[in-house]
Amino acid sequence: MKIAVFSTKAYDQEYFERYNKDHYLEFTFFETALNSHTANIASGYEVVCVFVNDKVDARTIGILAGSGIRLIALRCAGFNNVDIEAAKRHDIKVVRVPAYSPEAVAEHAAALILTLNRKTHKAYNRVREANFSLNKLIGFNIHGKTVGVIGTGKIGATFCKIMKGFGCKIIAFDKYRSDEVKDLGVEYKTLNDVFKEADIISLHCPLTPETKHMINEKSLASMKNGIMIINTSRGALIDTADIIKGLSDRKVGYLGIDVYEQEENLFFKDLSESIIEDDLILRLISFPNVLITSHQAYFTREAMEEITLTTLKNITDFKKGAILKNEVV
């Protein structure tokens, strides 16, 4: 079975080639992202393997169907970038990796909190320049703070456990309340109450029409002054223009993001010698209380291994005509 892998980096190819030995699949790796302009590359293949910033909309799917594609294999959990209804119309199956390493993402969210608070990134740079001053490096105790967790799936639940270890009071919002999370002592509240009461808010929910831009001018107004907001989920959960205004007005005291609404034009690329034309990301970078990482929260050895093995099994099950355990329906 021939598979076209889009948005490939060296580490993707390394892991697929390492674990493909027992699956006998034929991979071709493309650095380019999948969209309606590049979909014709998949002609002659049976499967496309895509990542978070590939744009698999109705037009792209129509081209893929005409090229003979029968399976879209996501090597990620989220599928908001795929038009599922269009795939169904063209009888193309869609599979994903529902869970790879909740610890990886949850730990990265905690790392953003600690780095933003204690300014370890700035201290590191200072010391390298023989500047041992503590001026403007003061932080706050995380112990005893109220942490609002929005989304208590596997990643959100793991994050709750981590923050519980810091001695935080944890409140949460999720449409589907988890008994496991309740047993940790987490109190579920309305979304508005989480916004109002939290000192730190961490986003762990999927991107849906309902959650898009949930962090906006109105929700920011209900939060505490100096709120810390962490997003390791999907960039469009935050209205970027509104968060910039919140930072400028000093309503938002700290912002840590591993995702960005327009990240497909930036993340996973070396643009160090390029002129970045995205004014919003440049504005965010300019704030001293903003920390941005480029969608690396998932990026651990354990997560890469699980993503690869699950994707290989998804494709192999499709090849064998077996039940697709991880099909998006």
List, in order, residues 6 or more apart from 17 with CB less than 8 Å away: 27
Average pLDDT over residues 189-199: 98
Residue 325 maps to a domain: no
Q: Are residues 231 and 304 in the same domain?
A: no
Q: Are residues 113 and 14 in the same domain?
A: no
Average pLDDT over residues 111-133: 98
Phi-psi region of 167 (alpha: psi -120 to 50; beta: other; left: phi over 0): left
Residue 78 pLDDT: 87
pLDDT digits (tens, 9 = 90+) for 220-254: 999 999 999 999 999 999 999 999 999 999 999 99
Domain tally for the chain?
A: 2
Q: Are residues 198 and 307 in the same domain?
A: no
pLDDT digits (tens, 9 = 90+) for 141-185: 999 999 999 999 999 999 999 999 999 999 999 999 999 999 999
Q: Are residues 42 and 151 in the same domain?
A: no
pLDDT at residue 85 is higher than 90? yes
pLDDT at residue 26 is higher than 90? yes
Active-site hit among 75, 204, 213, 295: 295
Calpha distance 206→77 (Å, rounded): 9
Q: How confident is the model at residue 203 (pLDDT cuts 50, 70, 90)?
A: very high
Residue 120 pLDDT: 98
Residue 263 maps to a domain: yes
Give the domain extent around 6: 2-100+300-320
Average pLDDT over residues 8-15: 96
pLDDT at residue 99 is higher than 90? no
Residue 238 maps to a domain: yes
For residue 49, count CB atoms less than 10 angstroms from its CB and return exposed for 0-12, middle for 13-18, buried for 19 or more: buried
CATH classification at residue 77: 3.40.50.720
- 24 versus 31: the higher-pLDDT residue is 31
Residue 201 maps to a domain: yes
Please check whether residue 276 is in contact with residue 66, taking contact to mean a CB–CB distance below 8 angstroms: no
Q: What pTM was computed for the model? A: 0.92
Average pLDDT over residues 257-282: 94
Q: In the β-sheet with 93-95, what is the strand arrangement from edge to edge? A: 26-29, 2-5, 47-50, 71-74, 93-95
Calculate what percentage of the chain has a pLDDT beyond 70.
Answer: 100
Q: Are residues 117 and 40 in the same domain?
A: no
Q: Are residues 65 and 171 in the same domain?
A: no
pLDDT digits (tens, 9 = 90+) for 282-324: 999 999 999 999 999 999 999 999 999 999 999 999 999 999 9
Please indicate whether residue 177 is annotated as part of the active site.
no
Q: Are residues 208 and 118 in the same domain?
A: yes
- 167 versus 77: the higher-pLDDT residue is 167
Residue 50 pLDDT: 98
Average pLDDT over residues 26-42: 97
When the pLDDT of each residue in the chain is averaged and rounded to a whole number, the result is: 96
Residue 23 pLDDT: 80
Residue 189 pLDDT: 98
Please check whether residue 237 is in contact with residue 207, taking contact to mean a CB–CB distance below 8 angstroms: yes
Residue 255 maps to a domain: yes
pLDDT at residue 24 is higher than 90? no
Residue 121 belongs to what H/E stretch? helix 120-128
For residue 29, count CB atoms less than 10 angstroms from its CB and return exposed for 0-12, middle for 13-18, buried for 19 or more: middle
Residue 221 pLDDT: 98
Active-site hit among 108, 234, 261, 264: 234
Active-site hit among 46, 261, 263, 264: 263
Q: Are residues 234 and 220 in the same domain?
A: yes
Average pLDDT over residues 134-141: 98
Q: Are residues 253 and 309 in the same domain?
A: no
For residue 110, count CB atoms less than 10 angstroms from its CB and return exposed for 0-12, middle for 13-18, buried for 19 or more: buried
Residue 326 maps to a domain: no
DSSP string, 36-78: TTTGGGGTT-SEEEE-TT--B-HHHHHHHHHTT--EEEESSS-
- 186 versus 23: the higher-pLDDT residue is 186
Q: Are residues 167 and 242 in the same domain?
A: yes
Q: Are residues 124 and 87 in the same domain?
A: no
**What three-state secondary structure class fits 231?**
strand
Please indicate whether residue 234 is annotated as part of the active site.
yes
Average pLDDT over residues 27-48: 97
List, in order, residues 6 or more apart from 108 with CB less than 8 Å away: 232, 258, 293, 296, 297, 298
Residue 327 maps to a domain: no
Q: Are residues 275 and 307 in the same domain?
A: no
Residue 327 pLDDT: 97
